[in-house]
């Protein structure tokens, strides 16, 4: 099997980076969160950026529409509770 390693520090392949990108990772930081690639020596970060390219990103599309990109960004409405006198 022919594997092209993007991150030799953690043994992350180009295929794995593409799979994480297909799952919604749009930035090198999000790739790093998913598989640690780019978090040690950092020499692979530019390669990761090249793989991610400037293509469509579901999260970026949501942000451009003014919507939260992550579930953590959605905060429930907070109502003030007044104390009874």
Give the pLDDT confidence score for residue 3 in this predicted structure.
81
Give the pLDDT confidence score for residue 78 in this predicted structure.
45
Question: Token pair for residue 62?
Answer: 């949501």
- The answer to whether 20 and 28 are in contact (CB under 8 A) is no
Q: What is the mean pLDDT of residues 11-30?
A: 92
β-pairing, 12-13 with 5-7?
antiparallel
* Nearest in space to 59 (alpha carbons), one of 72, 48, 49, 68: 68
Residue range 22-39, pLDDT digits in tens: 888 888 999 999 999 999
pLDDT at 2 over 90: no
For the full predicted model, state whether its pTM sits above 0.75: no
The angle, 0 to 180 degrees and rounded to 10, between the axes of the packed helices 14-22 and 45-52 is 50
């Amino acid at each position: 099997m022919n594997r092209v390693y993007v991150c030799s520090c953690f043994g992350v392949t180009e295929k794995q980076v593409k799979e994480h990108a297909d799952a919604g990772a749009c930035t090198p930081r999000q790739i790093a969160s998913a598989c640690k690639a780019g978090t040690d020596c950092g020499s692979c970060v530019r390669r990761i950026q090249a793989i991610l390219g400037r293509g469509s990103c579901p999260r970026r599309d949501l942000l451009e529409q003014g919507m939260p990109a992550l579930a953590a960004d959605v905060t429930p409405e907070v109502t003030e509770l007044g104390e009874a006198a």
